[in-house]
Structure formats: structure tokens, C-alpha cells
Structure 1
Amino acid sequence: MSGVLDGRTALVTGAGKGIGRACALALAGAGARVIAVSRTPADLEALAAEAPGAIEPWIEDVTGDALPSRIKALPRLDVLVNNAGTNRLQYVLDVDDATLDMLIALNIRAAFKVAQAAAAAMVAQGGGGSIVNISSQVGHVGGPRRTVYSMTKHAIEGMTKSMAIDLAPHAIRVNAVAPTVVETPMTAPFFKDPAYREAALASIPLKEVLQPEDVAGAVLYLASPAARLVTGSSLRVDGGATAM
């Protein structure tokens, strides 16, 4: 899809590693100027070096108030990849308040504030644009030790649908990408355990572990003109896991 985003500006949160990094590189490869948001300067420096001239690093915490204000002030924004988020595996009866509050603050509140700010910037420039929220397969189903995480991703799915309706008059499309577990720097230690890898593959009919680039491909499609009439949808990149 080289060149399909020429002249466009995209912003990716959580861009330092994993899915966010892959999305930033995919969008840059398609011609976009990419604003990469992360809290870690070293990660952003490495990312910018991989796509010279295409990446603008923003060192920001998505849970703070500065980032939404900075997004609203952009003179142009065509694509948001709302990726920043986290998980903490806990059995439901063991969930503590700190974990509950942290996941809600990052996965729901910050995701909403960033999407709201991006939508405001898009409306201010005359409309048009694509917002892609990174959800999860557990935004559609449940999972053991994932009660709070699943709750937050169900919230993202609902937010996506409602924002798509509200923003349709402005020609702003809002979609989600819902991957199964992805092999990233965060999950790599788990995949070194043969039992974990075997269990993960057993839940995926296509019998392949997802890589960040698999998710980035779906994001690039939704960000591109190829998806010009796709809005309010959730694209499951799960190897068929939720079809079982």
C-alpha cells in the first residue's frame, strides 16, 4: 500500500514497542507523516531512526492532560491509531483497587480522551479522517484472569460504535482492530514457555502466533481509502479464535 497515505498525518499512541511501533512503521511506509507518542525517549529515537524523516517523536504520557491539548492544536490530523494500553492478569477475586483503577484510567479514560481530541482536530480542519482503536478479542468474548481487561476492551468496542455514529456527519470513520494474543516484547517471555505457546496455538484455528505486523496490516487498511465506507466495525485479527 505504498503511497496510499501520501500527504497525510497520522498519530500513534504507545508507539515505542510492539503493535504501536509496527503501526507507526506501516503508516510511514504508506507515505504518512507519523507522530509517534511514547513515554520512553530511547524507544522513539530507535523508531525515528528506522524511518528517517517520517517520524515525529512526542514524549508524552497518554493519561496526562497535556497530550489531548497538544492533539487538538494540530493543524492537520488524518489518522489516529489509539493503541496505548496494558493488561494485568488476575483472578477475579484477587483484583485489587490499584489494578482496577490503573486499567480503567489507561485503557478506557485515556483512550477516550485521545480519541475525543483527535476527533476535535479532524472536525476543526473541515472533517474527514480515520480513528482506529486497538481493542482485543476479549472485547468480544471473555477470558480467564482477564475480567478487568475484558471489561475495558468491551468499553472500547462500545465507544467505537457510538463515536462512529456521532462523527459520521463529519466524514470521520471510527473502527477497532481486535487481535488475539500477539508476540511482542511484553509477551515474549510467556511464549518462551512451551506450555503457554501450545495453549495459545490450540485456541487459534490457523495455528500461527500473531506478530505486531499482522495487526499493523489491519490498521493500515482501516486508515486507508480502501476502507472509505467502513465505520463502526471491529476487525478481528485472531486467526479464527473467536469463531470457535
Structure 2
Amino acid sequence: MRVVIAKCSVDYVGRLKAHLPLATRLLLVKADGSVLVHSDGGSYKPLNWMSPPASLRTRQPDEAELEDGVVEQWTVQSAKTDDRLIINIHEHIHDCRHDLGVDPGLIKDGVEADLQRLLAAQIETLGTGFTLVRREYFTAIGPVDILARDAAGATVAVELKRRGDIDGVEQLTRYLELLNRDPLLAPVRGVFAAQQIKPQARVLAEDRGIECLTLDYDALRGVDDSASRLF
């Protein structure tokens, strides 16, 4: 990773044209060939950029460019198109390089596996008297996230999602159709549980007799401080 802070102007030339007038900016040159131009604002989004694969070529300015104050010119050429990012640098303020190594990638907190584990351990979140039959209950069309029994001993199939949409309701519907063919389990009702449930998914689920349950991940983890809440 090369990190450059410079006073520069930037032109994008190709399928479209864009110009950034002279100002102090942050230039990021990544190992994958991408180059990003940032200002001290606008959150994470760069002002302009060139996606990889791309090549960076630098050259010294000609006489006319020198008279305009340019001390170095970068040309970032896309390998797939004729698009170019031309950066005219007027002043180098900072320039350093760092080897960041191989990134392990984003590890998400609150993925479906975590929700499944926590809900199975606290099965009475579904209701008083609930008991766990098993997690990942195998069927011919895939595993049901949680199979449980309610206080009356009836079978309940639970489908878990971080964000519940119509596809999740359809998936649970297919599981219920299959499970209700088993005389040892039938009748089986469904619970669609998620941290967020889209309104369309909730309407579809309720129309099919499926209960919707919004899960509080922090509460399941035991880190929700209810005493500090205003409501």
C-alpha cells in the first residue's frame, strides 16, 4: 500500500470525463493495481478511482506543465478499457509505503450460525415451555435450523436469518410441507426468526400461518443492558 498526500488535480478520461480541480488530497495506491483519490470528507467513498487491473506510470512534466506548477504526472491506465486517470501533482506533502500482508477478510458478528447457537441455548425465547429437539434437523431438501417442541408438545420448525425476506419464508414453507408428511412430527408449525424482518416477508409469513419473531442479538449474547435503556 502506497499512501500519498499531495496537492493535485485529477482528470478521468475515457467513457466519461470528470475533473477535480487543484486541492490537497489523499492518494491510495493498492497492491491489486487500484488507485483511489480521497478528500477529507465524504465518508468512505473516494472522489475518483481506477479499479484493477490497472497500471500506474509516472513521468516528469514538460515545460508547459512545469510553468503551471506540475512537478509530477501519474497516468493510471485500465487494463480492460481505454479509461485513464491522470493525476497532476503540484506538491508532495507525504509519501510512504506499507506492506499490509494478506488480509484474513471480514468476520461478521451475528451471522446465522451464531443466532442458531444462541437461540438453541435459550430456546424459551420462542415461548415458555419450549424444548429443543435438535439444531440442523436434516430433511431431504436441506437442514431445518432448529426443531423444537412447544409447551403442549407440538413440533415447531424455526428458520433463522439475519435479515428476513420473502425467500426465507418460501424456504420455511417448503420445510413445513415436507415435515408435515411425517406422522411422527405432524402437525408442525413454523417460526420465522430474524434480526430484521421485511414487511413483505412478514405479510407472507402471517398469511401462511407462520409466526414471525424478531431477535435481539445483543440480548441473546447477554450484553444488552436493559437498566440503561430509556424505553
Greater percentage in strand? 2
Q: TM-score interval w.r.t. the shorter chain?
A: under 0.3
Q: What TM-score do you get using the length of structure 2 for normalisation?
A: 0.26
TM-score relative to the length of structure 1:
0.25
Q: Which one has the largest radius of gyration?
A: 2
Q: Highest relative contact order (Cα 8 Å, sep 6+), 1 or 2?
A: 1
